[in-house]
Amino acid sequence: MDDQVRKSRWAISGRAILGVTLILVICAVAAPLFDFRCGAFHPYVPPPLAASGNAANLRATIILPCADLPMPVGKNVIWSASFQVAWDELKKVAGGGLPGNQDLVRRLNAVVLARDTLPRDNCYVATGPASQSFIDKINADMNARFPGVKPDIVPANADDVLAYAYLKAEVKFAHPFFDSKSGLDFVDATGVRSPINSFGLYQTSGSSQANDQLAEQVAVLYRVRGDEFGDSREFALDLDRHSAPAQLILARVEPRETLAATWKSIKEKIADPLNRQDAYFGSQDRLGVPNINFDLLRRYTELETDNDFHLLQAAQRIKFRLDRAGADLADESTALTRAAHRRFLFDRPFLVVLRNRDSGEPYFLMWIANAELLCAK
């Protein structure tokens, strides 16, 4: 009887050990997909929207149509390319830069946006009459290329010209990061601290297979050491070095006057080999990245109300999300302008030609250089 009891206990212990082993194996394999906290799995849930609606209602955020416009101090500043793409389409219709003495108009006209810089195979552009039939075509094209995306375009006068641009980009982390239990205290330019949700590596004192995978995924593009041991004064990270075609870069730097100048400075620092002397990321390094999620509409009323080319509507909607699973961008712009009704007035010297329609040479030619032969009013 004792032998049977001992055998039964050994069998139970063996099954328990096997069960614990299987759980540990599952945890190691599934760690990139689930956030393991205190013995509980937490499946991925996108963060809630931090901001939505009209961007004009936000106190400390602005969307700019050009990346070379001055950045207001202390404000979040967003630029995305779809409005420039739509503007470029209107430039083609106008046969060159759009008219106007406004500084913003001159800047938009001067930008040369190379199409190969836009998301590959994820950019749609259409220009035509602002009629219901043309809008139906845009909707059909968008549904075929981007299922579920329905442009918000209101039909207008069919004589008006509509330019529509849409771009989408996605970086899906091969190994999703962990949601941070404690979050981050974000310190803004004025020193105000705000507790926020964030993601990064799982903080553990020992080796972690999940952290090893995540650390290999992160690339340190450049780093400038801080005053304290282990601190970094400036740095730029690629959160998934294997992502393609889109690359997501985050850089903690001192801003320059414009977004374009800030990016230029970052590129120069990345290219400097002196900034890459310890450009590695270890599994015990700490990573904390804020969750970002917004859906904002920007009406460029300054272009709608002060222009020489009857711009009836200029709007851009940007949706962006960054969390432990990756980053998503959806950016669309519409620009509606009154068609330039062309003028054909023979109020300057002109030539008169008579010829047989089916033959090339004329039998009468007359150059009108003055009003002597013209009938006076």
Average pLDDT, stretch 276-299?
85
Question: Minimal CA–CA distance to 349: which of 365, 369, 366?
Answer: 369
SS3 6: helix
Q: How far apart are CA 222 and CA 234, in angstroms?
A: 8
Task: Quote the pLDDT of residue 311.
Answer: 80
The answer, yes or no, to whether residue 210 has pLDDT greater than 90, is no
Q: How far is CA 291 from CA 198, 283, 346, in A?
A: 5, 21, 63
Whole-angstrom Cα distance, residue 53 to residue 56?
Answer: 9
Query: Strands (DSSP E) along 188-325, which ranges?
Result: 193-196, 198-200, 219-225, 232-238, 249-252, 288-290, 292-299, 311-323
Of the two residues 100 and 201, the one the predictor is more confident about is: 201
178-187 pLDDT tens trace = 888 888 889 8
* Rounded Cα distance, 82 and 78, in Å: 12
Q: Tokens 């001159």 map to which residue?
A: 106
Higher-pLDDT residue of 368, 289: 289
How do residues 22-51 score in pLDDT, each as one tens digit?
444 444 444 444 433 322 246 788 889 999
- Whose structure tokens read 């068609």? 339
Buried b (16+ CB within 10 A) or exposed e, 273-300: eebeeebebebebebbbbbbbbebbbbb
| Residue-wise burial string across 253-269, b where 16 or more C-beta atoms lie within 10 A, e elsewhere | beeeebbbebbebbeeb
Residue 208, both tokens: 């972690």
Collapse the DSSP code of 124 into the 3-class scheme (helix H, G, I; strand E, B; otherwise coil) and give the result. Answer: strand
- pLDDT at position 95 is 76
Q: Mean pLDDT over all residues of the chain?
A: 79
212 falls in which pLDDT band (50, 70, 90)?
A: confident
- Give the torsion through C-alpha atoms of 267, 269, 274, 275, to 10 deg: -100
Q: Exposure of 239 by Cβ count < 10 A (0-12 exposed, 13-18 middle, 19+ buried)?
A: buried
In the predicted structure, residue 104 carries a pLDDT above the cut 70: yes
Of 81, 96, 85, which Cα lies nearest the Cα of 127? Answer: 85
Residue carrying the six token digits 């889109």: 246
Query: Can you tell me the distance from the alpha carbon of 349 to that of 352, in angstroms, rounded to the nearest whole number?
Result: 10
Q: What is the mean pLDDT of residues 327-344?
A: 78
DSSP secondary structure letters along 242-264: T--S---EEEE----SBHHHHHH
Give me the long-range contacts of 348-355 (CB less than 8 A, separation at least 24). none
Query: How do the residues of the chain divide into helix, strand and coil, expressed in percent and rounded to 5?
Result: 25, 30, 40
Looking at per-residue pLDDT, the higher value among 41 and 255 belongs to 255
